Chains A and B, each alone.
Chain A
Amino acid sequence: MSVERRPSFERVARVKGTLLEYLSLGASLVGIVALAVLLVYVAVDAFDLASASHEWILTYVGTVVVPLVALFLYSADDPGLTVRVTLALGGGPIASFMAFRLLAAMGGSVPGLTWSVFYLFAFVVPTTAYVLYAGSQGPIGATAVGLLGRLLGGIAAGLALVVLFVVFDPQLWTLAYTLGVLPTGALVAFARRRESSLANRLALPVGIIGFLAATVLDGLLVFYVRTWLLYVWSVAAPVALGVGLLAARERDRREAALVGALAFAVPVAGSLAGTLVGVAPRHALLVLLTLAVPTARFVRRALDADEGALGLVAPLLLAGGAVVGTLVVQAGGFPAPDPWLDWSYVTSAPSRHPEQAGLYPAIVGSIFVICLVAVLSFVLGVGTAVFLEDYTADEGLSGTITRVIQVNVANLAAVPSVVYGLLGLGLFANMLGMGFGTVTTASLTLSLLILPITIISAQEAIRAVPDHLRQGSYAMGATRWQTTKNVVLPEALPGILTGTILALGRAIGETAPLIMIGAPTTVFSPPEGFASRVSAMPMQIYAWADAPQPEFRYGVVAAGVVTLLVVLLALNGTAILIRNRYETEV
């Protein structure tokens, strides 16, 4: 931009240049802005914000958002930022109100939005997001974000575990754990300590035999033990043991034992208390395990640290704000929205009545299918990538094979998903007789669909492993397999995991292949096994989208869309976390 001494005839050229710069900037934003607007509308519909009164929105902004923003502003410690944020949050309502008045005076209106909803999405959400980002650079903000993240992530992981146990039978898991995992673990631990290769060798067969025994026994026995007890034995105990072992690395034995005991006792006791608030203890146990253990560890560390402990009040601020906000709203009698997306929506089955319709079977179905897809595509994708990267040469027959497979993978990545659906229909459903719309057919089809993406990302991750590590391993006398197992795969694992999870995000949103393989339009209960017919979230959205009643189209489907996007966000967030952690480690 240093243009002072240029001759004036170049001014034209400069105008062109500036024009191109702003035009191209505008172009990069146009898609993002369009999507953002659509997302605002779908959120407004899903949470019924259009019928929220202005007072309701302003109250909650004041009690929940403002204290949190203040905390982060304090953390950021930037007077300029504070002024701008105060202007945006304080002036926003006035500006929005005036703008809507002005528009109305000119005879226009913004369909579906009130000025307070506009304020919420145009001022509050972006400002808060920016302040959270800026504040998290300071120690207080970092602590607050870390704690909130662990709380949210813990609850999400716990719920995912609950859902997994809906499909994966807890009884079978307990048997497999008792007979398979536990002895194997003991043998491995023994082998490590005593350097006994016999124990090491025995570990795998023992595990397999124990596991087979478990499957056989599972068919014969019916436990009359409460599922809660099964979880205490087969989930809480090993988690506590793991926590204790981890603690033993940093502290002395007594303290470690205490930590382990606490990690066991707190969730177990807490889950029993769950009955008091109407949560089934077995569900409370799982959520508490994923919630309490990392949170406690984080709080402990934050308290030990020199600064930033103030950030620990963030959840209290939020909870307190919510309570105060509710009291004010009730005292003032402000009309509240009646959101479509609420707890009953994610826990009940589809219904012909929009108010009762829910997504539960489809959510469980999606998660079940995605778990299987994850296993299948991970194994196949990593296997193929290792083969292509480390087991073939560049020249000769082997090189030709590599190139053929490589071209093939690239082309597969561009095959439309609906064609994969036909493959599933013709091959898995009809020819191999796996059934229309069953879990098996759906998972196999979706696995093949994302296989090219998994392969390509796994290849990139493996290629990124520095060659000197491989050479070092070979120089130590390791075989190719040992090098792959001990050097290449561990080193490439974060990259592979990131790529696989992103690919799973693609699989969870796919609808066309499911339609093709005849996934049922409506199921009322979650799948129970491989051969169950399964619905998935996008499938249910599709089934509802052409329902004639407006309550379905604008309410129920919007709620489904938001649920699907939240699950996707959680998946991608996990992938980003893994990547970031990996980047800081190396």
Chain B
Amino acid sequence: MASSQPDSTWRTSRRTALAAIGTTGALGLAGCIGLGQEGDEDGGELSGDINIAGSSTVYPLMFAFAEAFQGNHDGVNIDVSRTGSGGGFQNHFCPGKTDFNNASRPIKDEEKQLCEDNGVEWIELQVATDALTVVVNNEADFVDCLTVDELKQIWQPDAAETWAEVRDGFPDEEIERYGAAETSGTFDYFTENVVGEAGAHTDDYQATEQDNTIVQGVQGSEYAIGYFGFSYYYNNPDVVKALKIDDGDGCVEPSLETAASGEYTPLARPLFTYPSTESLGEEHVAEFARYVVEQTTNEDLVAGDVGYVPLTDDLQSQMQSRLEDAIDQAQG
């Protein structure tokens, strides 16, 4: 017995270890049933989960809203996912699994139908406008307005070499192009709406992630052209010249009003989020929705951090009353 002592203790300890692993496992599994109620200091604090899915275009904006909101409300857990506008409605929102769905386009009829079939009611809130500006050098007098087709000739994969190829009467000078890097949402949106195919873009351009670089490039040459998010031009209207865009209905200049009203096509689109009415019945969700609407005119956040066009005050108060109605109805 004595001689086998070390061996048997080792075996016992292994058996104990086996038992311990099993017990820890069982405890661990059951442990998560109980939720932590590590003392919240003030009792009136909001708490609960908010699940947000949908468009990857709206994602950075919602991320910013959620981050700022969470900073003041520790008890609220927000998660934001990029599932695509349609994927969000289809798989998450209309089956009743998320509280908000972000969308870079209005909800479609079949999605409305699906939500209705599942008894999910919603309201539509516009949260910002996504708009791009096409800019040229302040000295470039020859061009004020381009049609979408001409834009396409400049930016498509097999692009025009000189301005003269784009339109008769333009100078026979080589086009210098400054655009968004392939990694950015701006790139995707521009190629989808101007060239007509996501990701299709000429290689013959200076790609950058910094709006400043594009502006410097365009300032440097009379025959340069570039595009970037609207917010930069909105804040610095004098450094370069913004082109009007003709989408078949005449030239439209980019401005807060034309972007918000939908005239400035195809380079502007409203961005939405769809809260479910039932979720708005919960105080923490309602409070977050209020916060979102309140922040939609916050230029620092919407334009400065994210690069979208903030709502006008009119539109914001419209959204506010729409939201309050829904909250009243939901909370009875």
Contacts and interface: CB of A to CB of B under 8 A. Distances in A.
Chains A and B bind each other: yes
A171 interface: yes
Interface in A485-537: 485-486, 489-491, 493-494, 518-525, 528-530, 532-533, 535
Contact of A530 (B22, B32, B60, B64): B32
A416 B11 CA distance: 39
B280 to A, nearest CB: 20
A167 B184 contact: no
B77 A521 contact: no
A546 B181 CA distance: 11
A109 interface: no
B183 A224 contact: no
A351 B66 CA distance: 10
A522 B184 CA distance: 18
B67 A352 contact: yes
Interface size class of B (residues with CB under 8 A): 35 or more
Given A215-B33, A378-B25, A490-B14, A436 B97 contact: yes
Interface string A169-195: 111110010000100000000000000
Nearest to A352: B64
A325 interface: no
A529 B28 CA distance: 11
A349 interface: yes
A181 B79 contact: no
B30 A211 contact: yes
A379 B25 contact: yes
B70 A524 contact: yes
A521 B59 contact: yes
A528 B185 CA distance: 33
B63 to A, nearest CB: 6
A532 B36 contact: no
A168 B28 contact: yes
A55 interface: no
A222 interface: yes
B1 interface: no
Contacts of A218: 34
B92 A518 contact: yes
A548 interface: yes
A519 B33 CA distance: 20
A585 interface: yes
B164 interface: no
A556 interface: no
A128 B233 CA distance: 54
A485 B66 CA distance: 52
Contacts of A485: 15
A375 interface: yes
Given A375-B28, A375-B29, A489 B18 contact: yes
A493 B14 contact: yes
Contacts of A585: 10
Contacts of A207: 23
A211 B24 CA distance: 12
Contacts of A522: 63, 66, 79-81
Contact of B92 (A436, A525, A530, A546): A436
A550 interface: yes
A159 to B, nearest CB: 17
B44 interface: no
B203 interface: no
Contact of B79 (A169, A374, A439, A533): A533
B305 interface: yes
Contacts of B306: 352
A167 B81 CA distance: 22
Interface string B171-208: 00000000001011100000000000000000000000
Contacts of B314: none
B239 interface: no
Given A490-B11, A521-B81, A372 B29 contact: yes
Given A351-B67, A436-B97, A518-B91, A181 B29 contact: no
Contact of B34 (A215, A493, A519): A215
A550 B188 CA distance: 18
Contacts of A535: 79
Interface string A333-353: 000000000000000011111
Given A493-B17, A585-B10, A530 B33 contact: yes
B79 A523 contact: yes
Contacts of B83: 518
Contacts of B21: 378
A352 B36 contact: no
B2 interface: no
A546 B77 contact: no
A29 to B, nearest CB: 33
A211 B27 contact: yes
Interface string B48-65: 010101000001100110
B32 A167 contact: yes
A528 B17 CA distance: 28
A548 B209 contact: yes
B70 A349 contact: yes
Contacts of B28: 168, 371-372, 375
Given A227-B38, A490-B15, A493-B18, A521 B82 contact: yes
Nearest to A282: B38
Interface in A136-189: 166-173, 176, 181
Closest 7 CB pairs of A and B: A520-B79, A375-B25, A172-B34, A168-B31, A490-B14, A523-B79, A548-B184
26 contacts: A167-B31, A169-B32, A170-B36, A170-B38, A224-B39, A350-B63, A352-B306, A435-B97, A437-B79, A486-B11, A489-B18, A490-B11, A490-B14, A490-B18, A491-B11, A520-B51, A520-B79, A522-B63, A522-B81, A532-B49, A532-B77, A533-B49, A533-B51, A533-B79, A535-B79, A547-B183
Interface of A: 166-173, 176, 181, 207, 211, 215, 218-219, 222, 224, 227, 349-353, 368, 371-372, 374-375, 378-379, 435-437, 439, 485-486, 489-491, 493-494, 518-525, 528-530, 532-533, 535, 543, 546-550, 585
Interface of B: 10-11, 14-15, 17-18, 21-23, 25-39, 49, 51, 53, 59-60, 63-64, 66-67, 70, 74, 77-83, 91-92, 97, 181, 183-185, 209, 305-306
